[in-house]
Amino acid sequence: MNQSEKSVPFIRRPWFAFLSSMRFAVSLLSLLGVASIIGTVLQQNRPQADYLVKFGPFWTQIYGFLGLFDVYASGWFVAIMVFLVLSTGLCLIRNVPPFLHEARSYREHAKEKSLAAMRYSVVLDGAVSPEVAQRYLEVQGFSAKTVKREDGSVLVAAKKGAMNKWGYICAHAALIVICLGGLIDSNLLLKLGILSGRIVPDNNAVFAKDFKPESVLGTGNLSFRGNVNITEGQSADVVFLNADKGMLVQDLPFEVKLKKFHIDFYNTGMPRDFASDLEVTDKETGKKTVQTIRVNHPLTLHGITIYQASFADGGSDLKFKAWNLADPSRAPVTLRATSMREFPLDIGKTKYRLEFDKFTALNVEDMGRPSEKSGGVTAAINDVRAVTQEGKRFTNIGPSVIYRVRDSAGQAVEYKNYMLPVKQEEDYFFITGTRTGLEQQYRWLRIPVDKAGKIDTFMALREFLRDDAARNKAVEEATQGAPAEIRDQFKLAAANTLSIFARGGYLALDQFVTTTIPKDQQEKMQGYFYQMLFGVMNASLDETLKKYKLPQWPQDEARNRFLLNSMDAYTGLTEYPAPMLLQLDGYTEVRSSGLQMTRSPGASLVYLGSLLLVLGTVFMFYIREKRAWLLFSDGKIRFAMSSNRNERDLQKEFPQHTERLQQLAKDLNHEQK
């Protein structure tokens, strides 16, 4: 049994036939195609928070486990490429020797019967010598060979386009070379290091200096692709790599300093061009290289290519107006902070932390969409990809900042605040969005602006409503026109209504109606209370303007809308989840440049493989192999031709060659006569 297995040739064993079969290779190529589609459609190597917002925690975990966020470096993708290289290599081992033998062969053992059975075969009328026939075929571009046989016959065998066989070899070799290039750049060695425990990703450290030695890769690393953000005036000599469920630090043989970041915008606010002025210092020689890089114009040093990938906030200086919501005072305090930083916030005995995220100086939004009342204020569009689409009206709505307020228990609420008033329908509002999770949409607090475009009138009205004596004066003014017999009762009802609203806005008033009034009368009484509330609030606005010496505002439609919007905003503030209301009031922008650095030695192999693929395509589809034979036997000459593909060419060529050979025979015989 063992002897019979050993006697079976290597290339004829079942496992070899399976691995080298076209069916297996096509299946692997199909899987690679599907994986490449996923890698193209799904943005790769994005921050985990981006995926959480887009897919939610459940699907983010599933996609992460499947390696869909880094498809081209995932284990299963690498395994497919390894098997594809193996399958293609075995296919070449099996087929290259016979292909090369076929390319060198003239098929000089062709028999009379086989030549006669060919589709293009004829017996020539005249007679030419084998030498003349060989010379004719060589003139026609064939490589010819004359063979004398044992039976006395002479065969002239010729071939043209034998390079066609190299098309198959080049195409398969191209596939192997391209896959090898992909494997080299797929962090295969890095993954093996992680599996062996020699390399350990870190998911706790924040700064490069905090990473452990086993989480730091040396400058001799064969290939990598990492990112780093550098603020203007600062430098970096490492990049960070996403690996497994943590991060790795990749040391660089040079230090990169960002001298200046430049950005230009279209009129719509979409970034048109951004570039970085870099100063790169070689660690070993101290040589400095100064160059500006921009998108599609990278810099390559020591085999490492530096790309301009993105831009972001680099820690801008921010100025806020801040109101303590536990204090009714309309006067804000000034708070200064820096984006991308954390600060303690102590209010009384309660301790919080303010965590500032990115500051964005330019926000472009489609203001042609429904307003917040009907469809919700959309998140600011910082990367507009369709500014020319019909039906869209993109507008820069000004600077914004994202921040979080975290309590002592670690619970945080995120806020997004716009510095400038945003127009919603007919009026302008200062807006602030809140959410408790990245997967949620923002809920918007809209504070209306006054005639001067400021928040002052609303905050003064808020302080006024928190003052019992001031409210009573407003009620007195509002009820002066009531009939004397019901004035006291009406005054009491108005005072109670305004007091309830001052405590909790519409929510408190609704709760009062539902808990104290019979159910069958609630709808009627709600309308009564709201009419009464609007009247007394109108008087409160008049008294507010007088008390705080604000510009008078005569009765008109704009004032009525402001009052209704103020009542909505006041209600929103009673449910506002933060202890303070922050309103961005000024800034000094500092930008950072997002650089991607890659070392890709496999890229050269990919280029070589692409060249081989082009050559293989040319050889296979544009070079056609043709064979010709002239058999001199028993006083007659048989001429035959064949082609490996596209025999329509022979429909024209074969009659032409036949006619020329016969004419050549006549001419030679005429000379002999």
In tens, the pLDDT along 156-173 reads 999 998 888 898 899 999
CB of 592 within 8 A of CB of 294? no
The per-residue pLDDT of the chain, averaged, comes to: 86
Residue 439 has pLDDT above 80, yes or no: no
Residue 586 has pLDDT above 80, yes or no: yes
φ/ψ (deg, to 5) at 379: -65, 150
Rounded CA separation 356/333 (Å): 18
CB of 449 within 8 A of CB of 421? yes
Least reliable range by pLDDT among 78-82, 585-589, 653-657: 78-82
pLDDT-derived band at 208 (thresholds 50, 70, 90) equals confident
Count up the domains in the chain and report the number. 3
The reply to whether 632 falls in a domain is: yes
Residue 294's domain is classified under what CATH number?
2.60.98
pLDDT (0 to 100) of residue 313? 86
pLDDT (0 to 100) of residue 235? 93
pLDDT-derived band at 521 (thresholds 50, 70, 90) equals confident
- Which residue among 599, 615, 634 closes a domain? 599
Residue 11 has pLDDT above 70, yes or no: no
pLDDT (0 to 100) of residue 266? 76
Amino acid at position 386, single letter: A
Residue 267 has pLDDT above 80, yes or no: no
pLDDT (0 to 100) of residue 269? 65
228 and 291 fall within a common domain: yes
Residue 43 has pLDDT above 90, yes or no: no
Q: In terms of pTM, does the model score above 0.75? A: no
Written as one string, the DSSP assignment of 90-150 is HHHHHHHHHHHHHHH---TT--HHHHHTSSEEEE-SS---HHHHHHHHHHTT-EEEEEE-T
The reply to whether 291 falls in a domain is: yes
pLDDT (0 to 100) of residue 192? 80
pLDDT (0 to 100) of residue 489? 85
The reply to whether 306 falls in a domain is: yes
216 and 310 fall within a common domain: yes
Which residue range(s) make up the domain with 536? 461-552
Rounded CA separation 184/175 (Å): 14
474 and 545 fall within a common domain: yes
pLDDT (0 to 100) of residue 393? 59
pLDDT (0 to 100) of residue 646? 63
Q: What angle do CA 425, 373, 389 make, to 5 degrees?
A: 65
More confident residue, 6 or 432: 432
154 and 235 fall within a common domain: no
Q: E strands along 183-332, which residues?
A: 216-217, 224-231, 235-243, 246-265, 271-282, 288-294, 299-301, 304-313, 317-324
The whole-number average pLDDT for the span 262-270 is 76
Residue 614 has pLDDT above 50, yes or no: yes
Mapped to the 3 state alphabet, what secondary structure does 299-337 carry?
Answer: EEECCEEEEEEEEEECCCEEEEEEEECCCCCCCCEEEEE
The whole-number average pLDDT for the span 8-31 is 80
What digits encode the pLDDT tens for the residues 480-505?
A: 877 777 778 888 888 999 999 999 99
243 and 156 fall within a common domain: no
239 pairs with which residues across the strands?
A: 250
The whole-number average pLDDT for the span 24-47 is 86
The reply to whether 135 falls in a domain is: yes
Residue 438 has pLDDT above 90, yes or no: no
Rounded CA separation 312/107 (Å): 69
More confident residue, 474 or 363: 474
The reply to whether 82 falls in a domain is: no
pLDDT-derived band at 202 (thresholds 50, 70, 90) equals confident
The reply to whether 322 falls in a domain is: no
pLDDT-derived band at 8 (thresholds 50, 70, 90) equals low
The reply to whether 253 falls in a domain is: yes
228 and 298 fall within a common domain: yes
The reply to whether 92 falls in a domain is: no
Phi-psi region of 646 (alpha: psi -120 to 50; beta: other; left: phi over 0): left
More confident residue, 135 or 379: 135
The whole-number average pLDDT for the span 432-453 is 90
pLDDT (0 to 100) of residue 373? 45
What digits encode the pLDDT tens for the residues 285-331?
A: 999 999 999 988 999 998 899 999 888 888 899 999 999 998 999 99
308 and 215 fall within a common domain: yes
